[in-house]
Amino acid sequence: MTKILACGLGGGLDVLNASLIYFATKQNGMAAALGSVRPGSLDELNNHSPFASSGSWINSCTTSNYKGGDPRFAEPRIASLLGEDVLYLARKYHNNSSVPHLREAILVAKEKYSFNHLFFVDGGGDSLILRSGDSNDTTQDSDPFWGGDATTLEALSGIPNCYLAVISVGLDIDEKKFRNNVSFLAEMGAYYGKLNIRTGECVDYSLSKILSFKDDISDYFALAKSVLVLEDSDLSCPEKTMSHTAVVTYHALKGDYGLHRTYVSWEPKDPATSKPGVIVRPEHCWMYFFDASRIHQLKKDINRQAQ
């Protein structure tokens, strides 16, 4: 029986973007778990169920002591809404960044819970920063080997049946550079095509036997609306969380294009109007798929050649 892990790649609310794959898998009658890679360590969690030194299951009562309480720790709320635990992968071990411990947790989860395929989902596109010049004005991590996404991709290096999925491209990477990197990864046999979550259109998509989407994504919309700060009135709701990329994904898949607030501290301003927010576009509905097990090594190769 096919069993899929749909996991947020780098923290924040990538877990909500990953829920698109989680719900699609469930709709197709396959077993699935929702997961999240987070920047902290297990030491910072209370009331959870560890299965590895950097892996655990988060339930609705789990709390975090990260930096005095992580305001973007939405996983317990999501676990409560789903009625099932969320798999948690920690990038740190005893508060120090540790690729080996993260990798071990991924491998243990893959074997212990019989996941056939693991999808790691990034909103914004900075996971595909292969060179330092690939970033844009709002990119938080312009160094291709630094930051949460890069750490997770390093941990995934060489692990079979692991995929990177990217949605809402252009928020965290120069779009032209992203397209160039897609072409490069396609030449290397590490690109599996793209799929429009809203319309169902596919271009060069080769994972349909593993993952396909139906027209109904209402479960995703219900979850996102319950978790995200989407409008001014949500700011007073303690159970709701701010996210730059997840908010853009939500509005794009709703077909609500145009300027929308994301409310995060690094929220840009629209150059045309000077108003805060992001111009949500139809392009943000596309999800791109890659071989996550090869990206770190290919990134090392192209940067070595450039020296």
Q: What is the pLDDT of residue 72?
A: 76
| Pair 181, 223 in one domain | no
pTM, rounded to two decimals: 0.95
When mean pLDDT is compared across 95-99, 153-157, 164-168, 185-189, the lowest value belongs to 95-99
Q: Per-residue confidence at 141, pLDDT binned at 50, 70, 90?
A: low
Q: What is the pLDDT of residue 70?
A: 57
Measured N-to-C along each axis, helices 148-155 and 99-112 cross at an angle, to the nearest 10 degrees, of: 60
| Pair 209, 231 in one domain | no
Q: Residues 274, 277, 279, 283: is their CA dihedral positive or negative?
A: positive
Q: What is the pLDDT of residue 1?
A: 78
* pLDDT tens digits, one per residue of 210-244: 999 988 999 999 999 999 999 999 999 999 999 99
| Pair 58, 155 in one domain | yes
Q: Which two tokens stand for residue 151?
A: 């750490």
Pairing of strands 162-167, 202-203: unpaired
CA-based angle 70:75:77, to the nearest 5? 100
Count of C-beta atoms within a 10 Å radius of residue 271: 7
Q: Which two tokens stand for residue 12?
A: 């924040």
* pLDDT tens digits, one per residue of 43-99: 999 999 999 999 999 999 999 987 655 557 999 999 999 999 999 999 999 989 999
| Pair 242, 291 in one domain | no
CB 52 within 8 A of CB 103: no
DSSP letter at 276 equals: B
| Pair 184, 205 in one domain | yes
Rounded mean pLDDT, 110-123? 98
Q: Per-residue confidence at 259, pLDDT binned at 50, 70, 90?
A: very high
- Percentage of the chain exceeding pLDDT 90: 84
Closest CA to 139 of 244, 261, 39, 40: 244
| Pair 196, 260 in one domain | no
Place of tokens 């243990």: 108
| Pair 68, 132 in one domain | yes
- Percentage of the chain exceeding pLDDT 70: 95
| Pair 135, 224 in one domain | no
CB 38 within 8 A of CB 90: yes
| Pair 114, 243 in one domain | no
Q: Is 70 exceeded by the pLDDT of residue 138?
A: no
Q: Is 90 exceeded by the pLDDT of residue 132?
A: no
Q: Is 90 exceeded by the pLDDT of residue 140?
A: no
Rounded mean pLDDT, 163-177? 94
Q: What is the pLDDT of residue 31?
A: 97
| Pair 228, 85 in one domain | no
Mean pLDDT, the chain, as a whole number?
Answer: 93
| Pair 238, 197 in one domain | no
Q: Is 80 exceeded by the pLDDT of residue 306?
A: no
Q: What is the pLDDT of residue 76?
A: 96
Closest CA to 297 of 192, 155, 94: 155
Number of domains in the chain: 2
DSSP letter at 215 equals: S
| Pair 234, 302 in one domain | no
Structural domain for 15, as ranges: 3-215+283-306
Q: Residues 168, 171, 175, 180: is their CA dihedral positive or negative?
A: negative
